[in-house]
Amino acid sequence: MTRRLLQTIDCDYMLPGLAAAFLRVEGDEAAFVETNTSHAVPKLLAALAAAQLRPEQVRWVIVTHVHLDHAGGASALMKALPNATLLAHPRAARHLIDPSRLVASATQVYGAENFARLYGVIEPIDPARVRSLEDGASIELGSSSLQVFHTRGHANHHFVVFDSTSSSVFTGDTFGLVYPRLQRAKRFAFPSTSPTDYDGLEARKSIDRVLSLGAERAFLTHFGEVRDLLVIADQLRRWLDLSDALVREAAALPPAEREPLLRRRLAAALEQAALEAGLSLDDNDWRLLDLDLGLNAQGLAFAAGKPLPFTTIST
């Protein structure tokens, strides 16, 4: 019988239950999907050892996109896996080979000390070990295969990974955020509209594309395995409708007023959505939500500053 394993690894990024990576084993080969940051690499290698596999047996490291909570640990992980090839969207691959622009922009945002604390060291990766995957491309893992599908809306360099053997899809940020802490009552899911590529129309198309794969379960980087895909998709579409309406409202304001307004509107919407889910948000919930609240407001403010309409509200 072929050995088969699919494991969620909590990377303990900022808080437990915030960001995950995944170990997929088929026979004598393994793949990691997502790397989180360089600080998470010992956790990933420990999961590999617990599965009684050697670093030499990892064939693929796959990142859904190059935002640093998904791919910041790629160079450190690749150093530890001598036979692995790093797989990425064509628009993402060049930033893994030469991460200088990513590092410079993130350092400017966080400062050098905070950047090191959050992400550690990010180094260039040998181009010979990086492979770009076009939409629909397949790669083999043991007797199974994995297929990628490009999914815009959150980032223009994003793809999801479909694993037909386990009827699973690894969705990165395409299928929203479902933090375990916030699932104390009914399902509570919302999208990531972070800077700078948010596009509501494309985000809806990507949600539909994930559903069209027919997977029984999705593995969300934020966070873990879910099976009620239709319920989550419905919640995400309603959030996208709201997001697009807020972009239109913010576009009529002076640039300096956009982000504060959007943050207030999103906070009120989160509180209302939580109440509808039977969830009363406490201080710890708001601490968990604070980062996404800020990033989502920034992303919508950026979209509001674009010169032409970028999306169409669904009807």
User: Which domain CATH number covers 110?
Assistant: 3.60.15.10
Are residues 296 and 195 part of one domain?
A: no
Of 174, 197, 230, the one marking the end of a domain is: 230
Are residues 73 and 38 part of one domain?
A: yes
In sequence order, what are the residues at sequence separation of 6 or more whose Cβ sits closer than 8 angstroms to the Cβ of residue 251?
Answer: 258, 304, 305
In sequence order, what are the residues at sequence separation of 6 or more whose Cβ sits closer than 8 angstroms to the Cβ of residue 299?
Answer: 192, 193, 194, 195, 196, 198
Q: What is the pLDDT of residue 312?
A: 39
Contact 151, 174 (CB under 8 A): yes
pLDDT (mean) for 136-163:
97
pLDDT in tens, 86-125: 999 999 999 999 999 989 988 887 889 999 999 999 999 9
Are residues 165 and 81 part of one domain?
A: yes
Q: Is residue 203 part of a domain?
A: yes
148 phi and psi, to 5 degrees?
A: -110, 145
Helix axes 229-251, 200-212, angle to 10 degrees: 170
Q: What is the pLDDT of residue 182?
A: 98
Q: What is the mean pLDDT of the chain?
A: 95
Contact 9, 44 (CB under 8 A): yes
The residue count of the chain comes to 315
How many angstroms separate the Cα of 122 from the Cα of each of 91, 222, 258? 18, 22, 33
Are residues 162 and 15 part of one domain?
A: yes
pLDDT (mean) for 278-301:
96
- Ranges of beta strands (E only) in the chain are 4-10, 20-26, 29-33, 58-62, 85-88, 130-132, 138-141, 144-150, 159-163, 168-172, 217-220, 224-226
- Residue 89: name the closest of 127, 58, 135 by CA: 135
Q: Is residue 312 part of a domain?
A: no
Are residues 292 and 217 part of one domain?
A: no
pLDDT in tens, 46-96: 999 999 999 999 999 999 999 999 999 999 999 999 999 999 999 999 999
Contact 259, 302 (CB under 8 A): no
pLDDT in tens, 173-206: 999 999 999 999 999 999 999 999 999 999 999 9
Q: Is residue 266 part of a domain?
A: yes
Q: What is the pLDDT of residue 108?
A: 83
pTM for the full model? 0.95
Q: What is the pLDDT of residue 271?
A: 97
Are residues 283 and 222 part of one domain?
A: no
In sequence order, what are the residues at sequence separation of 6 or more whose Cβ sits closer than 8 angstroms to the Cβ of residue 161?
Answer: 33, 62, 64, 146, 147, 148, 169, 170
Quick check: 137 pLDDT over 90?
Answer: yes
Domain carrying residue 286: 237-304
Residue 14 φ/ψ region, left for φ over 0, alpha for ψ in the -120 to 50 degree band, beta for the rest: left
Are residues 241 and 197 part of one domain?
A: no
Are residues 135 and 193 part of one domain?
A: yes
Of 184, 201, 230, the one marking the end of a domain is: 230
Are residues 267 and 220 part of one domain?
A: no
Q: Is residue 315 part of a domain?
A: no
Count: domains in the chain: 2
pLDDT (mean) for 260-283:
97
Q: What is the pLDDT of residue 79?
A: 98
Q: What is the pLDDT of residue 62?
A: 98
Annotate 16-38 with DSSP letters as a single string. TTS-EEEEEEETTEEEEE----G
Are residues 178 and 288 part of one domain?
A: no
Quick check: 313 pLDDT over 60?
Answer: no
Strand, helix or coil for residue 193: coil
Are residues 187 and 291 part of one domain?
A: no
Q: What is the pLDDT of residue 227?
A: 98
Q: Is residue 16 part of a domain?
A: yes
Describe the strand order of the beta sheet including 168-172 as a list of residue ranges. 138-141, 144-150, 159-163, 168-172, 217-220, 224-226
Q: Is residue 214 part of a domain?
A: yes
Name the residue with higher pLDDT: 309 or 60.
Answer: 60
pLDDT (mean) for 151-174:
98
Of 230, 258, 291, the one marking the end of a domain is: 230
Contact 187, 201 (CB under 8 A): no
Are residues 243 and 222 part of one domain?
A: no
Quick check: 311 pLDDT over 70?
Answer: no
Contact 139, 155 (CB under 8 A): no
pLDDT (mean) for 282-300:
96
Q: Is residue 56 part of a domain?
A: yes
pLDDT in tens, 140-152: 999 999 999 999 9
How many angstroms separate the Cα of 191 from the Cα of each of 49, 182, 256? 34, 14, 24
Contact 32, 21 (CB under 8 A): yes
Read off the pLDDT band of 314 (50, 70, 90).
Answer: very low
Q: Is residue 311 part of a domain?
A: no
Cross-strand pairs, 88: 132
Q: What is the pLDDT of residue 197?
A: 94
Handedness of CA 171, 173, 176, 178 (dihedral sign): positive
